């Protein structure tokens, strides 16, 4: 079994983001809701519209910042030095953020990945974040050949549940944009099979839970999650597998067919998500009285 990489940042990295060299980057992300940060194994990705705007990595003598110049279709301009050692280096990268955003805009990032980021925003720090029933711990989670769009914690917004710091449920989410994404080699059947295989190995789930506790609490410490409490642990329940289907055409019949072909598993509980009209906040369905 391939060991899961340990997501999360070193204490020194966290300190530099909170009050040190990298604080201006964190502050920019907090102020700009078109951006979000995902924590990796001692590096982070700043996402814009689901695309990786900046990758910031810890290196021996400071930090390295990377932008993929493939987004510049007509030739890349001169960008700041990848090595970041001073406040001036950080300021130089922040000064070109509008240019990098424009390059991504003109490259037309994928709608599915953009939807992932909007789900993260609305549930973690958007105006409705405190009233939804989920927090997103990570997006674009990779484990060997497995890829999970979203890893989250189900943390119901009722007063009693919000006081609890442990016993919440691990959640895996798959985002599909449009009905053409429901079938084929990357469709729902292939994804659910992948999730079931991953969750069938108890050590995988246990390691993911440890990672997500660390990642969630580090994000909260950085002001990236609008939550009053640290997460201390997950429940022993099987993970929830949420299918987040954007722009589903109810008249196409593809979803009904895909759902009828899904494999069963005792290792997850599958749910098709119901959103709130046209937003991306996630709520449990409650039947209204009367």
Taking the alpha carbons at both ends of the chain, their separation in whole angstroms is 52
Phi-psi region of 100 (alpha: psi -120 to 50; beta: other; left: phi over 0): alpha
Q: What pLDDT score does 200 carry?
A: 95
**42, two tokens:** 């001692």
> What's the chain's Rg over C-alpha atoms?
19
Rounded CA gap, 207 and 211, in Å?
6
Q: What pLDDT score does 278 carry?
A: 66
CB neighbours (10 Å) of residue 59?
13
Rounded CA gap, 84 and 64, in Å?
6
Q: What pLDDT score does 282 carry?
A: 79
Q: What pLDDT score does 5 carry?
A: 55
Rounded CA gap, 167 and 154, in Å?
10
Helices 202-221 and 188-199 pack at an angle, to 10 degrees, of 100
Q: What pLDDT score does 115 carry?
A: 93
Q: What pLDDT score does 290 carry?
A: 44
Residue 194 DSSP symbol: H
Is-contact 34 52, C-beta < 8 A? no
φ and ψ at 241, to 5 degrees? -110, 110
Rounded CA gap, 211 and 152, in Å?
11
CA distances from 77 to 47, 100, 237, 247 (A): 20, 10, 51, 36
Per-residue pLDDT of the chain (290 residues; tens, 9 = 90+): 333 358 999 999 999 999 999 999 999 999 999 999 999 999 999 999 999 999 999 999 899 999 999 999 888 899 999 999 999 999 999 999 999 999 999 998 889 999 999 999 999 999 999 999 999 999 999 888 888 999 999 999 999 999 999 999 999 999 999 889 999 888 999 999 999 999 999 999 999 999 999 999 999 999 999 999 999 999 999 999 999 998 888 888 899 999 999 998 889 999 998 677 767 877 786 555 44
Helix (H) or strand (E) holding 269, with range, is strand 269-272
> Dihedral angle at the C-alpha atoms of 55, 60, 62, 66, nearest 10 degrees?
-20
Class of residue 160 by CB neighbours under 10 A (exposed 0-12, middle 13-18, buried 19+): exposed
Residue 284 DSSP symbol: -
């Amino acid at each position: 079994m391939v060991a899961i990489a340990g997501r999360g940042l070193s204490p020194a990295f966290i300190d530099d983001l909170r009050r040190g060299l990298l604080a201006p980057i964190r502050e920019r992300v907090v102020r700009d809701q078109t951006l979000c940060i995902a924590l990796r194994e001692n590096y982070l990705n700043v996402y814009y519209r689901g695309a990786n705007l900046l990758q910031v990595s810890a290196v021996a003598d400071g930090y390295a910042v990377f932008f993929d110049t493939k987004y510049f279709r007509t030739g890349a301009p001169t960008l700041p030095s990848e090595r970041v050692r001073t406040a001036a280096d950080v300021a130089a990268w922040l000064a070109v953020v509008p240019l990098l955003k424009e390059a991504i805009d003109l490259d037309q990032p994928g709608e599915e990945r953009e939807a992932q980021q909007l789900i993260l925003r609305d549930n973690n720090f958007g105006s409705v974040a405190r009233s939804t029933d989920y927090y997103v711990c990570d997006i674009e989670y990779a484990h060997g050949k497995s890829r999970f769009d979203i890893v989250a914690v189900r943390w119901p917004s009722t007063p009693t549940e919000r006081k609890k710091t442990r016993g919440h449920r691990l959640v895996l989410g798959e985002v599909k944009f449009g009905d053409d994404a429901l079938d084929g080699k990357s469709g729902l059947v292939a994804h659910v099979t992948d999730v079931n295989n991953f969750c069938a190995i108890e050590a995988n789930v246990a390691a993911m839970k440890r990672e997500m506790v660390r990642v969630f609490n580090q994000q909260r410490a950085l002001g990236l999650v609008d939550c009053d409490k640290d997460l201390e642990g997950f429940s022993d329940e099987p993970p929830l597998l949420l299918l987040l289907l954007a722009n589903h055409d109810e008249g196409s019949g593809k979803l009904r067919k895909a759902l009828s072909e899904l494999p069963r598993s005792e290792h997850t509980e599958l749910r098709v998500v119901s959103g709130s009209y046209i937003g991306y906040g996630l709520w449990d369905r409650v039947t209204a009285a009367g």
